[in-house]
Amino acid sequence: MDPQLDKLKFDSAGLIPAIVQDHQTGQVLSLYYMNRAAIEKTIETGKVHTFSRSRNRLALKGETSGHFEFVKSILADCDRDALVIKVEQIGGACHEGYYSCFFRQYERGAPDFKTIAEKTFDPDAVYKK
Amino acid sequence: MDPQLDKLKFDSAGLIPAIVQDHQTGQVLSLYYMNRAAIEKTIETGKVHTFSRSRNRLALKGETSGHFEFVKSILADCDRDALVIKVEQIGGACHEGYYSCFFRQYERGAPDFKTIAEKTFDPDAVYKK
C-alpha cells in the first residue's frame, strides 16, 4: 500500500476532488471525484480513473470514447483534500465534444454563459456507436 | 438578479466548487467552495469571495493577508456544477506561504508527497500581526 495516499483527506463519502489540467498549456479540462481505489488505479495504469457518482463505480476516463488522459504528474494541496492531475489529453475531455469541460464564460449582463470554444470532435459519432 | 447564476447547479449544501487559476500561467492556485452570495460578491467587487465552511460565512480572499485575487474571467463547465476563476493573484494564494496551494507532488515509492515550490512570503509575518 502507498503511504502517501494514507495522508490524503477524503470526504464523508470517501471522495476527493481532482482537477485535471493539460500538462502543456495549463488549461483546466475537468473536475472529477476520486476515491482511493480510483487514485490507485490511476497511478498503476498511468490513465485517469474516476469514481462515477452517477454509476457508483470506478470508471476509466475514455473507456467509451478512447479519449484517455495520460498522467504526467499528480499534485496535492496544502490540506491534502484536493488534487491536480496534469495529463496529456487524447481527443477531448468533455462529453459534449469540447477539449475542455469549461467552455462557458460568464459575461456581465448576458442572459446566459457564452460558449467560447469550438468542438474538437462530434460527440454523437464518438458516444453513440 | 443575474439569470446566468440561476443556471448553476449548487450541491445540497448550496455550494459549488471553484478552481482558481493564474490568468497568465494557468497554474492552479486553490480549490474553493462558493455559495450564490459569494459568486455575486465576487462579480460585484472583482475580488474572489468564498464561502468558508469552517467559519460558516462569506470570506473575502485576502482579507487578512492582503493577498487579493482580482478576477479576470469566470468559466462554468458543461454541467454547470463547477467553476474556473482566472485571477491576478497578489502575494500568494496559500496560507502556508506558497504561491499555489498545490505545492506537493506525488512521487512513486516516496514516503510522502514532495514539496516542489519555494515559499513566496512568510506566513507568520503575514497572518500573526
Residue B63's pLDDT is what?
94
Walk across the sheet containing B69-76 and list its strands.
A114-115, A104-105, B69-76, B83-89, B16-22, B28-34
Answer whether A19 sits within 8 Å of B4, measured CB to CB.
no
Residue B1's pLDDT is what?
76
Q: To 5 degrees, how large is the angle CA A46–CA A47–CA A53?
A: 135
Give the minimum alpha-carbon distance from A53 to chain B in angstroms, rounded to a whole number: 13
pLDDT value at A117 more than 90: yes
Grid coordinates of A5: 495516499
pLDDT, tens only, B59-106: 999 999 999 999 999 999 999 999 999 999 999 999 999 999 999 999
Q: Chain B within 8 Å of A7 (Cβ-Cβ)?
A: yes
Q: Are A21 and A14 in contact (CB under 8 A)?
A: no
Average pLDDT over residues A6-29: 97
Residue B96's pLDDT is what?
96
Residue A54's pLDDT is what?
85
pLDDT band at A40 (very low <50, low <70, confident <90, very high): very high
Whether the model clears a pTM of 0.95, i.e. scores above it, the answer is yes
CB within 8 A of A29, min separation 6: which ones? A20, A21, A22, A69, A87, A89, A93, A94, A99, A100, A101, A102
Residue of A nearest to B114 (CA): A75
